[in-house]
Amino acid sequence: MPLLSLAPMEGLTGHTFRRIHAECFGALDRYYTPFLTPPRVGSSFGKRDCGEVDPANNQGLDVVPQLLTKNADEFVWAAELLAKMGYREVNLNVGCPSGTVVGKGRGAGFLRDLDALDAFLSEVCDRSPLPASVKTRIGIARDEEYEAILEMYCRHPLAELIVHPRVRKDFYRGKPRWESYGETLRRASFPVAYNGDIFTCDDMDALLAAYPETRHVMLGRGLLYNPALARMLHGGPALTLDELKRFHDKLFCAYEGQMGGNAVFRMKEWWSYAQHAFDDPQTVHRAVRKVRTIPDYQAAIAKIFS
């Protein structure tokens, strides 16, 4: 079985989720933080990002901080701060499809200017105290863009290239283009990882049958749909209702302690994925979509788990 990691998903896979998921289902091989904004040179991470990378919040887990930036100086400065905390790798986000992010030329928007990304990676690979990996899409609008993108990546000594084989305009629709991932495996001299639409054991089996040399698979929405997915991929038992309730209760309790009533809205975002663990996701969705207060939320959850 390839190494299994958890994808960075803003508002969903932060340090609280990582810790509780590991407690309930066992730790994955690696975790990536939701993207962090590097501080200005000479400054420290902001409060939220400090919590994400605080070693005390990630104890016992192999965590790779992910940075969202197009400023090489700030990337290198952030890597210096992270190195002092004991981190061993830093990841660059070149995949986020959000319009706000792309409009600023960051995330997948960085792929619009390959010369700038090329220069950025040259500087980062030369100056960063930590090995730099990249999580990327294969283009902005057309699959054909990836030829030049991959050629550019292959010029740099990356720690790893994590390929989500969709273009930015796809967001998360349609099928990932495995051919682009396969081409990366064939051409890259650095380690390559796969990310995209692994929801079941059958999905993993199909990927490994097509590309048996796969060494690292990043799980995202699939693990939010089914928090026992990694265990199942290793041949373990399927998710039970009691397990899901225990996981939910721990997660909600932790969020409530951190943010009070706003925990309801954080949990509703989680339910937009976790509803797929049930035979009738729409019924689950209807039960939680309009709740606003903690008592109403708790009543809805009691109904779901009954």
Tell whether the torsion through CA atoms of 105, 186, 75 and 124 is positive or negative: negative
Which residues, 6+ apart, have CB-to-CB distance to 281 below 8 Å? 275
Domain count for the chain: 2
Last residue of one domain, picked from the residues 233, 255, 282: 233
Say how many C-beta atoms besides its own lie within 10 A of residue 290's C-beta. Answer: 9
Say yes or no: 275 and 177 in one domain.
no
Say yes or no: 195 and 82 in one domain.
yes
Report the distance separating Cα 297 and Cα 265, nearest Å.
10
Which residues span the domain enclosing 111? 3-233
Q: Are 162 and 195 contacting, i.e. CB atoms less than 8 angstroms apart?
A: yes
pLDDT digits (tens, 9 = 90+) for 119-146: 999 999 999 999 999 999 999 999 999 9
Report the distance separating Cα 52 and Cα 49, nearest Å.
5
The predicted structure's pLDDT at residue 195? 98
Report the distance separating Cα 126 and Cα 244, nearest Å.
45
> Percentage of residues in the chain with pLDDT exceeding 70?
100
Say yes or no: 264 and 298 in one domain.
yes
3 state DSSP class of 3: strand
What are φ and ψ of residue 67, in 5° steps? -110, 140
pLDDT digits (tens, 9 = 90+) for 214-242: 999 999 999 999 999 999 999 999 999 99
Query: Which CATH number do you get for residue 33?
Result: 3.20.20.70
Last residue of one domain, picked from the residues 233, 249, 283: 233
Say yes or no: 130 and 15 in one domain.
yes
Say yes or no: 185 and 278 in one domain.
no
Say yes or no: 9 and 31 in one domain.
yes
Say how many C-beta atoms besides its own lie within 10 A of residue 118's C-beta. Answer: 15
Say yes or no: 207 and 279 in one domain.
no
Say yes or no: 139 and 45 in one domain.
yes
The predicted structure's pLDDT at residue 276? 96
Say yes or no: 78 and 128 in one domain.
yes
pLDDT digits (tens, 9 = 90+) for 253-285: 999 999 999 999 999 999 999 999 999 999 999
Say yes or no: 158 and 266 in one domain.
no
Report DSSP letters for 38-82, one per residue.
PPPTT----HHHHHHH-GGGGTTS-EE-EE--S-HHHHHHHHHHH
Report the distance separating Cα 74 and Cα 206, nearest Å.
40
Last residue of one domain, picked from the residues 233, 255, 273: 233
Say yes or no: 40 and 24 in one domain.
yes
Say yes or no: 140 and 271 in one domain.
no
On average, the pLDDT of the chain sits at 97
Report the distance separating Cα 30 and Cα 89, nearest Å.
11
Phi-psi region of 186 (alpha: psi -120 to 50; beta: other; left: phi over 0): alpha
Mean pLDDT along residues 99-107: 96
Report the distance separating Cα 306 and Cα 189, nearest Å.
52
